[in-house]
Structure 1
């Protein structure tokens, strides 16, 4: 893989344009239609776009089939943006079937997160800015209503160019409802008080192109040596942003991944680190309030331990709301981020 230039922003859609909805990871709209249909309704009604679905959007499909739909969505000149339905765990197997030259010739905003880190990193290495966040089933299909911070961030990222300041959420949620239960969509989900952001080395300003995503997926890309620049100097001065998923990796695993990135010489290239608020609860691991606090504190300590070992002087901001918790702020993947410690501000360019 070679990277000739840093990623460029693709043209943005306008209300009324056709927007592709795809399932590059898992066809979960087939299994859980309620959040999917709700998300589509909001895309059409509130965002005013025309939704275009593909053969694998609503079904579990082989990697080659999912790649075929992605190639078709990017290659269709009438489609102005591409949005993922949800994440999954095997999108890395889709990448070899993508047509890089077709996608490079038809750059479009792509929105996704979690397992979609694979495609976001692929677009980065293809020279296209992507958007970390905004899956149909999770953000657009949120029970009750879209969170105002999520909606404002998504609307700005989808339709506009320019700066957008990220702000700490007053309340947040990491407890999920069972999508198979109709009662899960009966009202607004319960929220908890937000704790704000935690800054380290906040005496300086860092600004650069972003790279990162879900840390577990990035670890797989690193192991497979996929979409990782052979010359790490490509990442010099970039802002690293990382978050963890509902799989809830242990603090030891998080430290191990960051340590491996440090030993590879990657961590030392970045000018700042944004770390997403840890998701400390899942349907498979329904932690108590005390267990949630312990898990999140252990993860933060692991991150800072790795930072101290490899990049002790860079600015770090913990608990930024861009990961698997709610609300979710969109991060431009390959776009510019300004981390202003003295002002306590993080500004992204959409």
Structure 2
């Protein structure tokens, strides 16, 4: 049975932030970027500590047992208020069942922040422990200036809300580490706009839950991704968000069908879909993939939110009570951490 929702204490300057790599480690030219980001957080008054599982040039930063032990220790340490990774990676799933869930269940909630492969960990921390988690920038993106309409993940971690964010209209990309390891301005590449599938208006409220489709779909049907049970225990509507990293449309279609069959959308008041650069299939676009899986549900779909692998990033708190409004010129999401 899912535990009641608990929200970590507000993150304040002076609090300790721990950095570890539960998935891919730091190596080569990326080290200069991470060093800059660590200094950036310290320059804003945070006490930043670095774990042993940060650097490494393999698929992961360290063996699964070591990564799991370090993340457990950091999340259970009362002196650590937030844990953030350098970025995602590929196989964080190898440590999900190695975390000491009994130890964490006795600990006070700690902010766990990130996206991409970190969705693999954010999801069970929320659904199994009842801790709110923060789907936002990884450390490597944290120094980027937030565009008008959006908030920094540090803002959401810093208080109860309500936090209002609006469609930024911006489509951007990263500055390569080799080009500028200290970049803080996104490279603008276009414009985007939230829209409801089929047109019309939307005004819904529910508890946020979701993540990267390529990673969370592998948890569906396991004790680490039972969103159906979590939502049933809460007995509230949900707002499910999904985004695609790089898989072509056929695989995204499969992943979303898997989530549907696992009951992820049974209590959904809406589904939010992040904009993506993932490729289409010759016979199936990314949008068609979503509609193939979810179109049979009586659930509205909102397209092109800034919630994934196309920056900038709109941070979402798993477990937050959210209201989403798309009506004329109003395109906004309000989150309350209660």
- The TM-score, its normalising length taken from structure 1, stands at 0.83
Say whether 1:155 aligns with 2:176.
no
Matches of 2:242 and 2:146 in 1, distance apart? 22
Say whether 1:300 aligns with 2:287.
yes
Following TM superposition, by how much is the alpha carbon of 1:211 offset from its aligned partner in structure 2, in angstroms?
1.2
Name whichever of 230-239 and 191-200 sits farther off.
Answer: 230-239
Structure 2 portions without partners, runs of 5+: none
After superposition, the C-alpha distances for 1:4-44 in whole angstroms (9 at most, x for unaligned) are 33x22111221011111111112125662022112112111
The within-5 A match list for 1:287-326 is: 298-309=285-296, 311-312=297-298, 314-326=299-311
Matches of 1:39 and 1:187 in 2, distance apart? 10
Name whichever of 182-191 and 13-22 sits farther off.
Answer: 182-191
The within-5 A match list for 1:235-314 is: 237-245=237-245, 248-280=246-278, 298-309=285-296, 311-312=297-298, 314=299
8 Å Cα contact 1:205/1:338 also seen in 2? yes
RMSD: 2.7
What residue is the counterpart of 2:317 in the other structure?
332
Matches of 1:52 and 1:186 in 2, distance apart? 22
SS in 1 for 2:220: helix
8 Å Cα contact 2:194/2:331 also seen in 1? no
- Name the CA shift for 1:84/1:202 in 2 (closer, same or farther; >3 Å): farther
Q: Which runs of 4 or more aligned residues in structure 1 lie more than 4 Å from their structure 2 counterparts after TM superposition? A: 182-189
Say whether 1:196 aligns with 2:193.
yes
Structure 1 portions without partners, runs of 5+: 281-290
- The TM-score, its normalising length taken from structure 2, stands at 0.86
What residue is the counterpart of 2:226 in the other structure?
228
Relative to total residues, which structure has the larger helix share, 1 or 2? 1
The within-5 A match list for 1:1-350 is: 2-5=1-4, 7-29=5-27, 32-45=30-43, 47-59=44-56, 60-104=61-105, 105-124=107-126, 125-137=128-140, 139-140=141-142, 145-148=144-147, 152-174=151-173, 176-179=174-177, 181-183=178-180, 188-200=185-197, 202-222=200-220, 226-228=224-226, 231=229, 233-234=232-233, 237-245=237-245, 248-280=246-278, 298-309=285-296, 311-312=297-298, 314-342=299-327, 343-350=330-337
Number of residues of Structure 1 aligned to a counterpart in Structure 2 = 325
